[in-house]
Structure 1
Amino acid sequence: MFLMYDYSPDSMTDILFKDFPPVPTQAWEELILRDLKGADYNKKLLWKTPDGFSVRPYYREEDLKEIPHLDSLPGQKPYLRGTRKDNNWLIRQGFPLSEPLSQVNAKVLEALNRGLESVGFVLQPGQELTLQDMNTLLREVFLPAIEVSFENVSFKKPGTLHAFLEYVRATGIPAEQVRARFGFDPAGDAFFAGTMPNPEDFTVLANLVRTCSDYPQLRLVCIQGYKIQNRGVGVVQELAFSMAMGNEYLKKLTSAGLSPDMAARSIHFHMGIGTHYFLEMAKFRAARVFWNEISNAAIAVHATSGTWSQTAYDMYVNLLRGTTEAMSAALAGVDSMEVLPFDYAITKGSEQGYRLARNIQIILKEEAHFDRVTDPAAGSYYIENLTNSVLGESRKLYLDILQTGGFTDPVTCDRFRETVNSTRERRLQNLAQRRETLVGINQYPDSTGKAPAGLNLSGEEEWMRAATGFEKMRLRTEQATEIPSVFLLTFGNLTMCRARAQFSANFFGIAGFKVLDNNRFKTVEDGIQAAGKSGARIVVACSSDEEYEGAVPLIARSLDPGTILTVAGEPACKEALMDRGINHFISVRSDVLETLLGYQKELGL
């Protein structure tokens, strides 16, 4: 005998939830307002993203009603769910061609045997490869099993492309099995160089695309969105920039005689991955829909973890950043991905760094099985709404770019460059004021850590890092004849003195100063005596606001004249203390970078 059960959604709802009537949104809102006790709802609960739009504290099923395409499937337009029915992205690693090609080939073969699936050859400035170079570089590489990419190439020197095609024909590989990417981007190269592309560039590029018309999986035009991301912009600006650049190429290539389908098929996107986990997922999902709206085609996306958040101090934290960035891109369904080595900011990547970076993706595939689930974010109230918000905000910026002339208009280009620069400066200011956190740099520093050998703080634009200003300050401390000591004079209210001592230790640790923490002194006088014996150049008073007014002037009178007395907090008596010549205060409102640089200057560092 067989028992038949009704597993329909309505039936399951009746079984599981008949005793739990749904709670309307209004009831939740009333409860939240009651718990806020008069506090501003928007300030307390709405998160304003780096791109300027707000995210609500919660979303419900009713918030999905106005979002289109939720019933679409993976592999179906508009590709919200993905361009493929699987999620088997390709693991890529870049190989700079700065050493003999035979040595590069040996590294490639080893990496392919260790799980690599996509090889990125990064040419040196002005370098062109010949057929002989291709024979050396691709020796014993079974090309149909992998994808290859040629980066830092110029369409004005197409010798590398012709050499590759000649190699493919000579080895007899069927055209449909050749999976290759070239990084030709005259418009993007001009934008980042502060110039404008020559109109004839697009005619030359279109002719190159025609040359490759028999190769359905060979894409020549690369939209370099990652360069925008590494300058500190948010997901909206990166996405709008990428789509506007893609639109320019569609227009120029079709004007040069290519069909819309051939033009779209020649374009691929190289985008960055930032640290905002859910926003990055939303960006890649939105990119698929956006590009389909523009081109009626499926997007091809390669993602690279960013350098903006990479740190040279406490650099092993970069392994964690690389992991979360890789997770967001993998779950969002990119086509291929490169995780940069944890030590990329120092050495451009050691052998160990590349191996661990590769293994991050292998673990996500082989152990976490991220490749076996397509678009796991589907139906998530939060991520679907984030995707819709990112898409909507990106469309606005995209249309603004187009309406002012697009990226072949010099005024539009200059204005967008200014937008990128102002966004970067705002984010750097947020880091200096700790409105944004960079673990190990402006919060939770390892104050005993030393600068790694080979640290490069030049800050080349393609690979900018947010930590550079803090790291230069840290390096200045290390290069001093003697590391300055900071004595924490703790007294009075136990809770407040310990809280402010911890805050102060974190604050001065950012500059690499030696912090001398103490248990609470029984009396202020005991603390003053211990401070004098310590020889510290900086003494920080750590107690409650109420105890500062009487104790701090006493401390100031008792310390050696050359000692810098600092008060932890912004007490109500601040003005009275300043009238007595006490001018150093640190608090959550302080510009950490500017304040610590001021201490360094005062100490003669």
Structure 2
Amino acid sequence: MSELKEKLFSEFPPVTTDEWMAKITADLKGVPFEKKLIWKTNEGFEVKPFYREEDIQDLKSIKSLPGEFPFVRGTKKDNNWDVRQDIEVEDFAAANKKALDLLNKGITSLGFSFKKDKITAENIALLLSGIVAESVELNFRTCLSGATKLLGILTSYLKAAGADLSKCYGSVNYDVFKNPLLKGYKAEDWSDEAIEVLNAAAELPKFRVLAVNAMLLNNSGAYISQELGYALAWGNDLLAKLTEKGLSVDEVAKRIKFNFGVSSNYFMEIAKFRTARWLWAQIVAQYNPACDCSAKMDAHAITSKWNMTIYDAHVNLLRTQTEAMSAAIAGVNSITVLPFDDVYQNSDDFSERIARNQQLLLKEECHFDKVADPAAGSYYVEVLTSSLADVAWKLFLEVEEAGGFTTLADKGQIQNAVNASAIARQKAVATRREVLLGTNQFPNFTEVAGDKIKKNSECGCGCGCGDEKAVPTLNNSRGSSEFEALRLATEKSGNTPKVFMLTIGNLAMRLARSQFSSNFFGCAGYKVIDNLGFETVEAGVEAAVKAGANIVVLCSSDDEYVDFAPAAFKAINGRAEFVVAGAPECMEDLKTQGITQFINVRSNVLETLKTFNAKLGIA
């Protein structure tokens, strides 16, 4: 290999980091490197524009192989993952029929969700009829108090069916922190009930029955470092409290399943799962397990709901595809890709089929399952892994020093921290620093979405969220929620405002500002009337009035605004709202003449559009 390397690169002399920096500094022409090219992440650390081999030489994350402790490169030597699809069960016979059909279409992991009053031996037998339990991952979600009963019935059914219990694998989603996080009342002492659940699963050694549902944090707008740091603290609380009750760390750790969300932050999500396995292994190791295998994290990835949108919903396919790729490359155990229409209706056969095929394409055509940890050795991903580990570990330690996850969740501090991040992200969406394509940038102007909304996706927990709460709960609003509410209000008003682009003067500037302004007002569902250009301001105003414009946007160059803006404002004479596109140097002078409305890249798009809705009488 060294000879080949020498042959390939002997003609290219090495370039040092100092030489790269000298070239970059020269090209920046005096602009500070740190200001222009260093990226400050939401996770709290900085990212450089380029990395070199020297940046990863001392990193601990590169020392192990796939399947080796601390499992940063994966818990196994291959990269095969289970393709999962969940079924909301109302009719158990119908759910069984659907499950059998899914197994013939490439699904290798089934998730069933039903209410605890439906847990009977007859229903479970009907649900699992014809399913070979040793060959498919079986996952169940029900109410907390139903988990023990479900496991007992499930064990009895599998025995009666002649299944080899040692080969049956899956999970029961017993989540002790759903109460404070979603319902608003304290978890308090949950350890005795958790031990009952573990005892009920005693004959199902490969069933993970203690859930760390970090996707609840992800779907509520948490930053990646928060989802990771809090998930580790969540898992550690399960270990700490149950080992204090006399259970061994091996008994507990092998029963924990981590359910993470996965967002569109492509490389950071790859790093997240690598970091999660690494840090979790370190935590478990502190309890002195009998086997390193107890430190292997079982990670399930679910594509995020926070960035899904109702308008231009097919863009959700792009989001979920990159999210599934991140999770697959990172080596998770299983993946659920949510259908693109999940946030506004009960998904149909078409959207579910596409969601399945998104994973199957990654396996069967892209062969992502053939290479373990393909991101290993990437200078960028390795540095992200190490940097994310630092900030997540710091947060984990802060939670532990404050009393642990239960204590902070019962005080509402976890929820408040995540909700604060969600508010910051909502503001970033409002100002377009975080882009949701089709919603706050490049919307489909003619789309009408009100009729397709069949369900409210903001809180699907069925937990009585309107009840009085002892502690704050997570806010389940998506990133696009406020923009969607704004646009739906426009739809329901029955009187769509018309926005007229008064384009004049400098050709390049008027076209650029017209496009910007069209996208700006299109986010509220207004009808945009664009134009090639007018010879005079008066001609443009006359055309706008004739078109019945509610808003006239002047699009020209900064220099020309000095004359065009006052002339247009005077010609309109209050017959429509007048807006200047841009932030010209003459802005203050124009304001003294009564021109007060400007839109530009620094505008808060959401708040500006809310103001226009109010002015135009749209509630």
Q: TM-score range by the shorter chain?
A: over 0.9
Instruction: Tell me the distance in 2 between the aligned counterparts of 1:391 and 1:163.
Output: 41
Matched residue type, 1:50: N
Instruction: Tell me the distance in 2 between the aligned counterparts of 1:157 and 1:217.
Output: 16
Matched residue type, 2:165: A
Q: Does 1:76 align with 2:65?
A: no
Q: Which residue of the partner structure matches residue 26 of structure 1?
A: 18
Q: Which residue of the partner structure matches residue 353 of structure 1?
A: 351
Contact 1:90 1:337 in 2 (8 A): yes
* CA displacement 1:112-160 (0-9 Å, x = unmatched): 1101111100123x44411111111011111111010011331465211
Matched residue type, 1:46: I
Instruction: Tell me the distance in 1 between the aligned counterparts of 2:67 and 2:404.
Output: 30
Q: How does 1:162-241 map to 2 (within 5 A)?
A: 162-199=152-189, 201-241=190-230
Q: Does 1:112 align with 2:110?
A: no
Matched residue type, 1:76: E
Local SS of the residue matching 2:443: coil
Contact 1:401 1:412 in 2 (8 A): no
Q: Does 1:39 align with 2:31?
A: yes
Contact 1:346 1:454 in 2 (8 A): yes
Local SS of the residue matching 1:604: coil
Instruction: Tell me the distance in 2 between the aligned counterparts of 1:532 and 1:218.
Output: 69
- Please state how far the C-alpha of 1:455 moved relative to its aligned partner: 4.7
Q: Does 1:520 align with 2:533?
A: yes
TM-score normalised by structure 1 residue count: 0.96
- Output the aligned Cα RMSD: 1.5
Matched residue type, 2:297: I
Q: Which residue of the partner structure matches residue 3 of structure 1?
A: none
Change (3 A) 1:437 1:339: same
Local SS of the residue matching 2:177: helix
Q: Which residue of the partner structure matches residue 472 of structure 2?
A: none
Between stretches 496-505 and 558-567, larger displacement belongs to: 558-567
Gaps of 5+ in 2: 286-294, 462-475
- Specify which of 358, 367, 370 is matched with residue 372 of structure 1: 370
Instruction: Tell me the distance in 2 between the aligned counterparts of 1:214 and 1:338.
Output: 27
Q: Does 1:495 align with 2:508?
A: yes
Contact 2:343 2:455 in 1 (8 A): yes
Q: Does 1:249 align with 2:225?
A: no
* CA displacement 1:37-80 (0-9 Å, x = unmatched): 12132232112222221111111100011211413111111111
- Please state how far the C-alpha of 1:191 moved relative to its aligned partner: 3.6
Matched residue type, 1:30: A
- Please state how far the C-alpha of 1:408 moved relative to its aligned partner: 2.3
Matched residue type, 1:504: S
- Please state how far the C-alpha of 1:193 moved relative to its aligned partner: 2.8
* CA displacement 1:231-282 (0-9 Å, x = unmatched): 1111110011110010000011111221111111111101101110111100
Instruction: Tell me the distance in 2 between the aligned counterparts of 1:228 and 1:358.
Output: 24
- Specify which of 74, 82, 90 is matched with residue 82 of structure 2: 90
Percent identical? 41
Local SS of the residue matching 2:60: coil
Q: Which residue of the partner structure matches residue 423 of structure 1?
A: 421
- Please state how far the C-alpha of 1:573 moved relative to its aligned partner: 1.2
Change (3 A) 1:314 1:602: same
Instruction: Tell me the distance in 1 between the aligned counterparts of 2:149 and 2:202.
Output: 17
TM-score normalised by structure 2 residue count: 0.93
Instruction: Tell me the distance in 1 between the aligned counterparts of 2:452 and 2:193.
Output: 45
Q: Which residue of the partner structure matches residue 454 of structure 1?
A: 453
Local SS of the residue matching 1:186: coil
* CA displacement 1:195-248 (0-9 Å, x = unmatched): 33232x212212331332343211110100000000111111001111001000
Q: Does 1:391 align with 2:381?
A: no
- Specify which of 587, 592, 601 is matched with residue 614 of structure 2: 601
Q: Which residue of the partner structure matches residue 103 of structure 1?
A: 94
Instruction: Tell me the distance in 2 between the aligned counterparts of 1:216 and 1:410.
Output: 31
Q: Which has the higher contact order (CA 8 A, sep 6+)?
A: 2
Q: Which residue of the partner structure matches residue 320 of structure 1?
A: 318
- Specify which of 131, 134, 141 is matched with residue 131 of structure 2: 141
Local SS of the residue matching 1:320: helix
Change (3 A) 1:336 1:411: closer
Instruction: Tell me the distance in 2 between the aligned counterparts of 1:411 and 1:211.
Output: 27
Instruction: Tell me the distance in 2 between the aligned counterparts of 1:427 and 1:179.
Output: 38
- Please state how far the C-alpha of 1:192 moved relative to its aligned partner: 3.3
Q: Which residue of the partner structure matches residue 4 of structure 1?
A: none
Between stretches 78-87 and 404-413, larger displacement belongs to: 404-413
Contact 1:128 1:160 in 2 (8 A): no
Q: Tell me the number of residue pairs that the alignment of Structure 1 and Structure 2 aligns.
A: 594
Instruction: Tell me the distance in 1 between the aligned counterparts of 2:398 and 2:182.
Output: 20
Local SS of the residue matching 1:303: strand
Between stretches 395-404 and 67-76, larger displacement belongs to: 67-76
- Please state how far the C-alpha of 1:413 moved relative to its aligned partner: 4.3
Instruction: Tell me the distance in 1 between the aligned counterparts of 2:571 and 2:36.
Output: 43
Local SS of the residue matching 1:479: helix
- Specify which of 468, 477, 488 is matched with residue 481 of structure 2: 468
Instruction: Tell me the distance in 2 between the aligned counterparts of 1:67 and 1:128.
Output: 51
Instruction: Tell me the distance in 2 between the aligned counterparts of 1:458 and 1:212.
Output: 33
- Please state how far the C-alpha of 1:344 moved relative to its aligned partner: 0.2
* CA displacement 1:499-522 (0-9 Å, x = unmatched): 111110110111111111111212
Contact 1:340 1:349 in 2 (8 A): no
- Please state how far the C-alpha of 1:353 moved relative to its aligned partner: 1.3
Gaps of 5+ in 1: 1-7
Change (3 A) 1:120 1:291: same
Instruction: Tell me the distance in 2 between the aligned counterparts of 1:191 and 1:490.
Output: 51
Q: Which residue of the partner structure matches residue 492 of structure 2?
A: 479
